[in-house]
């Protein structure tokens, strides 16, 4: 991260660095809270007596809520400001992560995960919009890639925390740790200003906010809106199906279609997958996007992911799972950095936050069926076979990227 970040910091202002840190911390802690669930699925299934399909359905509800939250917080961010909306989203997912640990039934846990999803969906587009509107055109792609890369740190931190906590306590204590991100909002409220680009649009946005959402489907934007929505949907279907079920896939007994690794072995594999795969994958996308163009970078990452996932599904040894898991994570998560980059460059300031919320979090709503589908298919045929559906999702996402405009070098409106 230091090598990629150094040029950013040398050519940036203090305000730009604070907005980058705020968005990155928000997204990192979003990843931390959200992925705690995936890391304790096996224990929840045992204690609450639920099936793989029901466990997948819980994550489906969270993703449905993220789509609602993305659009909702997009309107909030366009109306009251990017930084304020970021604060509200972080508080939402932190409080209900803690509440998840209090669940004594499937219904309670489903309710709390749904409410957490509202904040989860709102954080991404508010943070991405905040950075896109603060950083200059030449550095935007790399800045947004830094923000996106923080998700991998959050996931790795969740793996570490869950591994440590589960050695002494049960899965409920893991969720209690999820309240910690709420304290970050105190600093954001004090030190992170609203972008001048948003302030300049404030009066116009307030005057006619209700009509602007339809602009996403006007003649100039409808093709891009639908293409970005569908590309994100296919990629997210593949990602959530794969990374929701990789932790239980590694930890479940071989007789149940897993690989039979213990808690600390699974924790080590997941941390390596995140730090050696996801993190550099996210971070490097901005570099490729600046050199190859946004569309070619998408195609490179998505086709590589589609190729490697079947190889990962066939792997049996610890070493092979370690290496291929990192490669899958590099390409299969890194391409998400591009959604905020190209989305912020396609849509104007007056609708940017809600456009990103709709095309990314709306896609998360559509992809909400993925954990359930992969869980059901995995129940019947094994999770390794179900992962082939994820490879298909990456392939379709790559093909859909052809429909997007090339926005490299474009200034924000």
Report pLDDT digits (tens) over 208-220.
444 466 777 877 8
Q: Which pLDDT score, from 0 to 100, does residue 382 have?
A: 77
As a whole number, the mean pLDDT across the chain is 80
Distance CA 277, CA 271 (A): 9
Angle at CA of residue 77, ends 120 and 230, nearest 5°: 60
Q: Which domains does the chain have, with CATH numbers?
A: 16-198+215-403 (1.20.1250.20)
Mean pLDDT in residue range 356-369: 82
In sequence order, what are the residues at sequence separation of 6 or more whose Cβ sits closer than 8 angstroms to the Cβ of residue 87? 185, 188, 189
Mean pLDDT in residue range 298-322: 88
Question: In percent, how much of the chain has pLDDT > 70?
Answer: 88
pLDDT in tens, 236-286: 999 988 887 877 777 665 555 555 566 566 667 777 777 788 888 888 888
Distance CA 302, CA 281 (A): 12
Mean pLDDT in residue range 44-58: 79
Distance CA 374, CA 113 (A): 19
CB atoms within 10 A of CB 138: 11
Q: Which residues of 42-64 are buried (b: 16+ CB within 10 A; e: fewer)?
A: bbbbeebebebbbbbbbbbbbbb
Give the ranges where 274-382 is alpha helix by DSSP (H).
Answer: 279-292, 294-314, 318-334, 337-346, 352-356, 362-366, 369-381
Lowest-pLDDT choice from 82-86, 307-311, 402-406: 82-86
Task: Single out the residue of 249, 182, 215, 285 nearest to residue 383, CA to CA.
Answer: 249
CB-neighbour burial class of residue 100 (10 A; exposed 0-12, middle 13-18, buried 19+): buried
* Residue 337's pLDDT band (cuts 50, 70, 90): confident
Mean pLDDT in residue range 372-388: 82
Q: Which of 111-115, 129-133, 335-339 has the highest average model confidence (pLDDT)?
A: 111-115
Q: Which long-range contacts (CB under 8 A, 24 or more apart) does 115-118 make?
A: 115/65, 116/33, 116/34, 116/62, 116/65, 116/92, 117/61, 117/62, 117/63, 117/64, 117/65, 117/66, 117/68, 117/69, 117/93, 118/65, 118/66, 118/68, 118/69, 118/72, 118/73, 118/92, 118/93
Contact 308/273 with Cβ under 8 angstroms? no
Q: Which pLDDT score, from 0 to 100, does residue 205 have?
A: 47
Lowest-pLDDT choice from 70-79, 98-107, 391-400: 70-79
3-state DSSP of 236-296: HHHHHHHHHHHHHHHHCCHHHCCCCCCHHHHHHHHHHHHHHHHHHHHHHHHHHHHHHCHHH
Give the DSSP H or E segment for 135.
none
Q: Residue 331 above 80 pLDDT?
A: yes
Q: Which pLDDT score, from 0 to 100, does residue 388 have?
A: 92
Mean pLDDT in residue range 308-330: 86
Q: Residue 368 above 70 pLDDT?
A: yes
Q: Which pLDDT score, from 0 to 100, does residue 128 have?
A: 80
Q: Which pLDDT score, from 0 to 100, does residue 207 have?
A: 46
Q: Which pLDDT score, from 0 to 100, does residue 2 have?
A: 45
pLDDT in tens, 4-32: 455 556 667 878 888 888 888 888 877 77
């Amino acid at each position: 991260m230091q090598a990629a970040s150094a040029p950013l910091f040398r050519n940036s202002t203090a305000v730009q660095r604070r907005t980058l840190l705020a968005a990155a911390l928000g997204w990192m802690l979003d990843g931390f809270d959200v992925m705690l669930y995936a890391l304790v699925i096996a224990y929840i299934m045992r204690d609450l007596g639920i099936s793989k399909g029901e466990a997948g359905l819980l994550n489906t509800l969270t993703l449905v809520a993220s789509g609602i939250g993305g659009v909702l917080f997009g309107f909030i961010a366009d109306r009251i400001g990017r930084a304020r909306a970021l604060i509200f989203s972080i508080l939402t997912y932190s409080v209900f992560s803690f509440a998840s640990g209090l669940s004594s039934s499937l219904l309670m846990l489903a309710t709390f995960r749904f409410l957490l999803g509202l904040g989860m969906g709102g954080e991404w587009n508010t943070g991405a919009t905040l950075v896109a509107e603060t950083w200059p055109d030449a550095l935007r792609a790399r800045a947004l890639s830094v923000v996106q890369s923080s998700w991998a740190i959050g996931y790795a931190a969740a793996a570490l925390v869950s591994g440590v906590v589960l050695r002494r306590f049960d899965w409920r204590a893991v969720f209690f740790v999820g309240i910690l991100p709420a304290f970050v909002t105190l600093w954001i409220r004090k030190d992170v200003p609203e972008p001048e680009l948003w302030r300049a649009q404030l009066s116009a946005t307030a005057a006619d906010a209700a009509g602007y959402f339809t602009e996403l489907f006007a003649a100039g934007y409808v093709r891009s809106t639908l293409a970005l929505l569908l590309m994100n949907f296919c990629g997210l279907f593949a990602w959530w199906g794969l990374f929701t079920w990789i932790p239980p896939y590694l930890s479940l007994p071989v007789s149940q279609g897993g690989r039979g690794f213990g808690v600390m072995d699974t924790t080590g594999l997941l941390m390596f997958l995140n730090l050696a795969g996801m993190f550099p994958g996210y971070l490097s996308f901005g570099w490729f996007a600046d050199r190859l163009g946004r569309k070619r970078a998408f195609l490179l990452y998505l086709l590589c992911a589609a190729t490697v996932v079947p190889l990962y599904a066939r792997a049996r040894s610890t070493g092979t799972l370690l290496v291929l898991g990192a490669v899958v994570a590099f390409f299969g998560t890194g391409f998400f950095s591009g959604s905020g980059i190209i989305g912020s460059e396609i849509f104007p300031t007056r609708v940017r936050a809600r456009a990103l919320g709709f095309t990314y979090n709306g896609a998360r709503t559509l992809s909400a069926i993925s954990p359930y589908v992969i869980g059901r298919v995995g129940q019947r045929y094994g999770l390794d076979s179900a992962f082939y559906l994820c490879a298909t999702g990456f392939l379709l996402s790559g093909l859909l990227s052809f429909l997007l405009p090339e926005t490299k070098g474009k200034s924000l409106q």
